[in-house]
A and B are shown apart, each in its own frame.
Chain A
């Protein structure tokens, strides 16, 4: 049943994605200054949204684990962090492709690029930390703390954007944003399939964690004899 639901969600996501790509290529006009490449924003920005939503979920599940001591929260936490890292990487890579064409360089040490890379590294550190602890409850406890501390840095990273001179295009969604409503609808519209895709990945990853726990339990049982 669970698997059927996941396949269903996957089909919906794929359908929506195909429809969005079709609309992007046929219906939406090229942006006046950037030409065709601007369409990468429909993947670039929703990927960042998804990544940060995942990191936020990791914070919440970290706190939930510390309160309940239920290892399911730990499984959720590692799943969302891994998926968040994947979407963070998608955000960075699509940004780099865009930068290569518009700015002529793959990377620049603009603060916004730097801060995304920094967030990515923080959560990569979370995964490295998990590898270094053997005992499951200790691993869950320490990685929950790591998740809380990592998320506490995120606002600092974001506030400093305003204070650092920046080369990145100004935010187009908030503040004095000037994004065309058609583009904006597509941007949020394309977030839906990406988010559904993330949910499937998280569900699959959690299932793996559950089986891992089961295996560990069986192994302990064998060793007990």
Chain B
């Protein structure tokens, strides 16, 4: 078990190190997030009360669009010099490889979200600090759901034609329950209302989604990578 964890964290550290040294996906993703934030301002009046009502949805759309750029690179990065074949033939088991990559993506996505959130707050005049603990929990759960689905599809599409197009097309419909729950929860949180009563069902949905898709991804990853 400790061996598995060590291998997992080695992969995660490797991915994070190479990403933080080149910053290719993170830079692209952050600038893309800024572009989306700017584009939203043309779609509706950014100063109106309506912004507050759809703030959760806007925020998660930014996260989802920007996130896919990072997720797309996750396995595609290993194509150069046949690194993917080397990783698959290394003694690291498939699940450890997958979870390592997922953890690296998770950290990157959370980092990007933490940068986007205050910018979003400034641009759209939203006070997001009202319920910090709940907001952090929703972001942690929602982002893990996005990450785990995105990483498994990154592996699935890595050898395909038109990979960059395939990933978003396949990944967003599967992510929808997770994104929808996160959006539903984030909107009241950005208006500083706590989560209670019926809203807890969405938290349960997020937890269930995370658990089931993590289990499925870990089970299926060997099939996806090796066959």
| Interface residue ranges, A against B (CB under 8 Å) | 66, 118, 121-122, 125, 128-129, 132-133, 137-138, 141-142, 144-146, 148-150, 152-153, 156-157, 159-160, 163
Q: Which of A129, A141, A149 contacts B152 (CB 8 A)?
A: A149
B43 at the interface (CB under 8 A from A): no
Report the bound CA distance from A146 to B152 in whole Å.
10
Q: How close is A45's CB to chain B, nearest CB, in angstroms? A: 23
Interface of B is mostly: helix
Evaluate whether A125 and B224 lie within 8 angstroms (CB atoms) in the complex, with A149-B216, A150-B174, A152-B216 already known. Answer: no
Evaluate whether A118 and B173 lie within 8 angstroms (CB atoms) in the complex, with A132-B162, A141-B223, A156-B208 already known. Answer: yes
Residue of B nearest to A125 (CB): B170
Q: Which of A132, A141, A145, A160 contacts B166 (CB 8 A)?
A: A132
**Within 8 Å CB of A157, what residues of B?**
176-177
Evaluate whether A129 and B173 lie within 8 angstroms (CB atoms) in the complex, with A145-B220, A152-B212 already known. Answer: no
Considering the complex, which residues of chain B in the window 175-227 have a beta carbon less than 8 Å from any beta carbon of chain A?
176-177, 180-181, 198, 201-202, 205, 208-209, 212-213, 216, 220, 223-224, 227
Evaluate whether A156 and B205 lie within 8 angstroms (CB atoms) in the complex, with A125-B173, A149-B152 already known. Answer: yes
Residue of A nearest to B152 (CB): A149
Cβ A146 vs Cβ B202 within 8 A: no
Cβ A129 vs Cβ B224 within 8 A: no
Cβ A66 vs Cβ B216 within 8 A: no
Evaluate whether A133 and B160 lie within 8 angstroms (CB atoms) in the complex, with A148-B220, A149-B152 already known. Answer: yes
Q: Which of A137, A142, A149, A153 contacts B177 (CB 8 A)?
A: A153
Residue of B nearest to A121 (CB): B173
B39 at the interface (CB under 8 A from A): no
B1 at the interface (CB under 8 A from A): no
Cβ A160 vs Cβ B152 within 8 A: no
List 9 A-B residue pairs with CB atoms under 8 Å apart, sorted by A's residue number.
A121-B173, A125-B173, A128-B169, A128-B170, A129-B166, A132-B166, A149-B149, A150-B174, A159-B205
